[in-house]
Amino acid sequence: MTSIRTDLDPAIATKGYARPEALVSTGWLAERLDDPEVRVLESNEDPTLFDRGHIPGAQQLDWHRDLNDPVVRDYIDRERFQALLRRLGIDETTTVVLYGDKNNWWAAYSFWVFQLFGFENARLLDGGRAKWVAEGRGLATAIAAYEPTAYDAPERRDEAVRAFFSDVLTHTRVRHPLIDVRSPEEYAGTKLHMPDYPQEGALRGGHVPGARNVPWARAAAEDGSFKPAAALRAIYETEAGLRSENDVITYCRIGERSSHTWFVLRYLLGYANVRNYDGSWTEWGNTVRAPIER
CA distance 57 to 63: 19
User: Do 263 and 235 lie in a common domain?
Assistant: yes
Residue that is last in its domain, among 156, 173, 204? 156
Over residues 146-162, mean pLDDT: 96
Same domain for 86 and 188, yes or no, is no
Give the residue from 111, 129, 156 where a domain finishes: 156
Q: Which helix (H) or strand (E) holds 57?
A: none
Residue 206 lies in a domain: yes
Same domain? 167 vs 144:
no
**CB-based burial label for 31 (10 Å; 0-12, 13-18, 19+):** exposed
| Sign of the CA dihedral running 202, 47, 104, 133 | negative
pLDDT in tens, 166-223: 999 999 999 999 999 999 999 999 988 766 666 566 889 999 999 999 999 999 999 9
Instruction: Tell me: do 149 and 105 sit in the same domain.
Output: yes
- Sorted by sequence, the CB contacts under 8 Å of residue 210 that are 6+ apart come out as 171, 172, 175, 177, 178, 293
Q: Is 252 a catalytic residue?
A: yes
Residue 278 carries which DSSP code?
S
Count CB-CB contacts under 10 A for residue 287. Answer: 16
What's the pLDDT score for residue 8?
A: 84
Buried b (16+ CB within 10 A) or exposed e, 88-120: bbbbbebbbbbbbbbbbbbbbbbbbbbbbbebe
Residue 1 is predicted with a pLDDT of 41
Q: What is the rounded CA–CA span in Å between residue 7 and residue 25?
A: 12
For residue 2, is it within any domain?
no
185-211: burial string, b at 16+ Cβ within 10 Å, e else:
ebbeeebbbbeeeeeebbeebbbbbbb
- Any domain includes 3: no
Cα-based angle 283, 75, 97 (whole degrees, multiple of 5): 115
pTM recorded for the entire structure: 0.95
Statement to judge: residues 22 and 148 lie in one domain: yes
CATH code for the domain in which residue 108 is found: 3.40.250.10
Indicate the pLDDT class of residue 244, thresholds 50, 70 and 90: very high
Q: Which domain holds residue 255?
A: 160-284
Order of all β-strands in the sheet with 95-99: 23-24, 122-125, 95-99, 38-42, 59-60
pLDDT at 192: 82
Task: Identify the active-site residue in 130, 220, 252, 274.
Answer: 252
Same domain, yes or no: 131 and 61: yes
| Structural contact between residues 55 and 99, judged by C-beta atoms closer than 8 angstroms | yes
State the pLDDT at residue 200.
Answer: 61
Residues 89 and 34 reside in one and the same domain: yes
Question: Average pLDDT, stretch 32-43?
Answer: 97
How far, in Å, CA of 3 to CA of 49, rounded? 32
d(CA 24, CA 98): 10
pLDDT tens across 46-105, in order? 989 999 999 999 999 999 899 999 999 999 999 999 999 999 999 999 999 999 999 999
273: burial class by Cβ within 10 Å (0-12, 13-18, 19+)?
middle
